[in-house]
Each structure stands twice: as C-alpha cells, then as structure tokens.
Amino acid sequence: MIDAEVLHLMRKSAYLINIACGAIVDEFALVKALEDGEIAGAALDTVFTEPLPAESPLWSLPNVFITPHCSGNSPRVKERSLALFLDNLNRYRQGKPIAY
C-alpha cells in the first residue's frame, strides 16, 4: 500500500505512522524517503520483519520512532473491545451501519 510513489506524494512535513501491519509499507522506499527528506519522519509500531533486525537502517535514522508493536494494548483493551462488539451487535440487529 505504501510504496515509493505514495511516499513521494506526501508532504515533506508528513510523518508516516504504521500501527497496522509491517508488510503494508515498502521499507526500502521508506528508508530512502526518510534519508532524502521526502517526508519528515516515521513512527513504526510494526515493521516487515519482527523483531526489527539490528542491521536495519531504521534504527539509526534520527527521524524514526520505533515502538515494540504494542500500540493496540492497554489496560482497558478487553473492556473496549467488548463494548464495541456489543454496540455493533445492537447496530446489526437494528439495521444500522457497523462502527469501527
């Protein structure tokens, strides 16, 4: 989804934030865009190869923030997931659109 063409279309002040799936970002294109200043930076909670190999250039780029793939976790994740499920069940029964 996010390749060199997409990165080139982003503003130079933009940050790419990936909390979804590492495979949706072309990491080679991302590194080049970051090194060339095409985008301001990236925040990555997930990468193509996990754990991120020590030799990855992403570790040494000053405009990259890397987190340990835990952005979806919180003390209330089960409570919130259950509430969303119950809300969507009610929506489904009432013929209303599903919430995300």
Domain ranges of the chain: 4-69, 73-100
Write out pLDDT tens, residues 19-43: 989 999 999 999 999 999 999 999 9
| Closest listed residue to residue 71, CA positions, set 43, 99, 50 | 43
> Residue 25, SS3?
strand
Beta bridge partners of 66: 44
| Burial (Cβ within 10 Å: 0-12, 13-18, ≥19) of residue 4 | middle
H-helix segments, 10-99: 27-35, 77-94
Model confidence pLDDT, tens digit, residues 56-69: 999 999 999 999 88
What token pair was written down for 25?
Answer: 């970002």
Q: Sorting pLDDT into bands at 50, 70 and 90, what band is 100? A: confident
4-69 to CATH, choices 3.40.50.2300, 3.40.50.720, 3.30.379.10, 3.40.50.410: 3.40.50.720
Q: Please give the pLDDT value at position 74.
A: 83
Residues found in the chain: 100
Sort residue 3 into left (φ over 0), alpha (ψ -120 to 50) or beta: beta
CB 59 within 8 A of CB 27: no
Write down the pTM of the prediction.
0.73
